[in-house]
Chain A
Amino acid sequence: MGFSKSILQLDPAAEADRLVRSLKEAVQGLLRRHGAVVGISGGVDSAVVLCLCARAFDASKIVAVMMPDKDSNPQSEKLARDLARECGVNPVLENVTAALEGFGCYRRRDEAIRQVAPEYEPGRGFKAKIVLPQNLLQENTLNVFSLVIVDPDGRERSLPLPARQFLQIVAASNFKQRARMATLYYHAELHNFAVIGTANKNEHDQGFFVKYGDAGVDVTPLGHLYKTQVYQLAAYLGVPEAIRSRPPTSDTYSAPCTEQEFFFRLPFETMDLLWYAQEHDVPAAEVAAVMGLPEAQVRRAFDDFTRKSRTTGYLRLPPLRLNGRNKVSSAPFPASTARAVAPGGPCPKPQILTS
């Protein structure tokens, strides 16, 4: 089939049925667990996963966990709770603020922010986020983060972010995803259930996840689906419009921050098509003609995908066993480490339910 704007169109009914069957096989057959634990955020990915689980398992075999912290948007909890009830599942609320305070998440993060923006005082209503340049198609900007401070009156100030402070902000913020993972596994072990992940193909392959955080799951049913395909499934499964129309967010920073701002740099409708084209070696000129974009912009997007995949390659690797049988190379990661890692390596990877 030639490249077209409809190339990512799913048969959502067939795909949902297949995923429901695969979930049952994976959880009960392969993993021999009695049910599923899903972290629900009020976003579209976790909504789709919960809806799939509700078709695969009896409601008594599902634990849907909401894990807000003091930075979370309260609307997220309401949407998650409403969805769980629509699925016939009683949601469990686990506020992870105290755990994060114990880890020093907020203290360490805010210390780094104040080194760049001394006026930043969360107690007085200041909020913060880190973002990438948003002009990916127009300029050859690199993936270098800026710090955005939002003052109590809503005014935003963008500041260059030095490497050391960037690393501290990210390292501290990643406690959130790891605290959520630990909470999900508490419930999984409590009930002898499996943790069902919510990452989609964009997040997994481009590296928009936290190692041993939100990637710490047993099954990843959406790992082969582009974000726009997740939206197709969401519409088919009856995920409420209030969830489908929300800008996707990682729910990590105190200031509202979309996934496009934080990582992807393009609207999903554009990015998914360009990314599919690059993965399938569609010539840039052909892509440009179909998309109505200058060829230079298509190449810019291709380069960005390559950089992200390469930079985040180590996140997708299992622990390396230095037993003399594996060649340890110091060469940079190939463009797609996900393809380069041999299956059945030393540590089982989450199952992507593609077959």
Chain B
Amino acid sequence: MSIENQIQEFILHNLYFADNQSLDYHASFLETGIVDSMGVMELVAFIESAFGVTTLPQEIVVEHFDSVAKLADFVRRKLSLANPEAEAKDVPAPTVSSARP
């Protein structure tokens, strides 16, 4: 499962309380209101737990936390910094979103 897919699954199951909703990887959390500030705190906990990355307070910015795609890119960069060889094994970022199963 790609990083995008894992993040999307987490949001759909824990933060986005609507049935039969899809979540585009590039949908802005700010513009859509899907994730609020409490949700950002939960996303921080999720990526630290799921991917083993550490998030610094100054990294919790719109550029990293405003869409599934941006957050996945952020995680990918953190992983590559922590372990440069692992980056090549990571699943490439998909370009098409998927609906909630």
Contacts and interface: CB of A to CB of B under 8 A. Distances in A.
Given A139-B61, A140-B61, A332-B32, A311 B45 contact: no
A331 B36 contact: no
Contacts of A311: 36-38
B60 interface: yes
A142 B37 contact: yes
A310 interface: yes
A167 B61 CA distance: 21
Size class of B's contact patch? 20 to 34
B38 A142 contact: no
A146 B57 CA distance: 8
B99 interface: no
A161 B42 CA distance: 11
A145 B55 CA distance: 14
Contact of B60 (A141, A163, A306, A330): A141
Contacts of A163: 38, 41-42, 44-45
A240 interface: no
B65 A142 contact: yes
Contacts of A143: 37, 40
A166 interface: yes
A133 interface: yes
Interface in A155-201: 158, 160-163, 166-167
Contacts of A167: 38
A158 B56 CA distance: 12
Interface in A303-321: 303, 306-307, 310-311
B18 interface: yes
B61 A307 contact: no
A330 B19 contact: yes
B62 A162 contact: no
Contacts of A303: 30, 62
Contacts of A310: 33, 36
Of residues B17, B30, B34, B41, which shows the largest number of chain A Cβ atoms within 10 Å of its Cβ? B41
A144 interface: yes
A276 interface: no
A333 interface: yes
Interface residues of A, number: 25
Given A307-B37, A310-B36, A330-B17, A144 B44 contact: yes
A140 B63 contact: yes
B18 A330 contact: yes
Interface string B45-88: 10000000001011011110100000000000000000000000
A117 B60 CA distance: 21
A143 B60 CA distance: 9
A168 to B, nearest CB: 13
Contacts of B62: 140-142, 303
A146 B58 CA distance: 11
Contacts of A142: 37, 40, 60-62, 65
Nearest to A144: B60
Given A144-B40, A166-B41, A332 B61 contact: no
A298 to B, nearest CB: 15
A161 to B, nearest CB: 8
Interface string A313-355: 0000000000000000011110000000000000000000000
Contacts of B58: 139, 141
Given A163-B44, A330-B17, 12 more contacts: A139-B58, A139-B61, A142-B40, A143-B37, A144-B44, A144-B60, A145-B41, A161-B41, A163-B41, A163-B42, A303-B30, A307-B36
Interface of B: 17-19, 30, 32-34, 36-38, 40-42, 44-45, 55, 57-58, 60-63, 65
Closest 3 CB pairs of A and B: A332-B33, A140-B62, A143-B37
Interface of A: 133, 139-146, 158, 160-163, 166-167, 303, 306-307, 310-311, 330-333
